A and B are shown apart, each in its own frame.
Chain A
């Protein structure tokens, strides 16, 4: 099925551990995004990639790095996880040629840092 696929769905990390969240889309979208969702705060943009080869900071980039591996894949890396990074992470993609950019979200990765 066409869409945005995120892996893993769940993860528990110890403080200081590192990990990479994976995201892939098969809709030939140009732009990809990483959001985090915390109770009472909505979804906040961490990083985005307007097109292959470019990345930019969003509202809350500290503690994260990203890689736009190719047009399909956009990964989010936590180098040294902290309890404040406990959250649900959503990847999304869009394309300017789609109606209203065709924003599509993945199903999320629930990360707990202990």
Chain B
């Protein structure tokens, strides 16, 4: 089955710097790669996602890149702000038919220092 590895487990940056979180996946059939942000005491919230037919997607300060050949994808946050501090999860899925199970990475705790 699918396996997703996420690095680093913790990341500390200064406000205004960029942050990059990387994930690798094992199943070449995976076609959907979302990123979730989780704040303390809350459920995961989708922040950006990408399908396998696209190499890059950007939404304001966040972007995701996908390299299907190498089977890895990355989250890029520019001009970080203290409110970006949270746990971030990557996931991979095969969206087909009636359901698409999400397989998650281990999570990255991002701390943005003012």
Contacts and interface: CB of A to CB of B under 8 A. Distances in A.
Chain A complexes with chain B: yes
B114 interface: no
Given A40-B107, A96-B97, A100-B49, A90 B89 contact: no
Interface of B: 1, 4, 6, 9, 32, 34, 41-46, 49, 51, 89, 93, 95, 97-107
Interface of A: 4, 30-31, 33, 35, 40-45, 48, 50-51, 58-59, 90, 92, 94, 96, 100-101, 103, 105-108
Which of B34, B45, B97, B106 has the most chain A CB atoms closer than 10 A to its own CB? B106
Contact of B98 (A44, A50, A59): A50
B111 to A, nearest CB: 16
Given A100-B32, A105-B43, A58 B89 contact: no
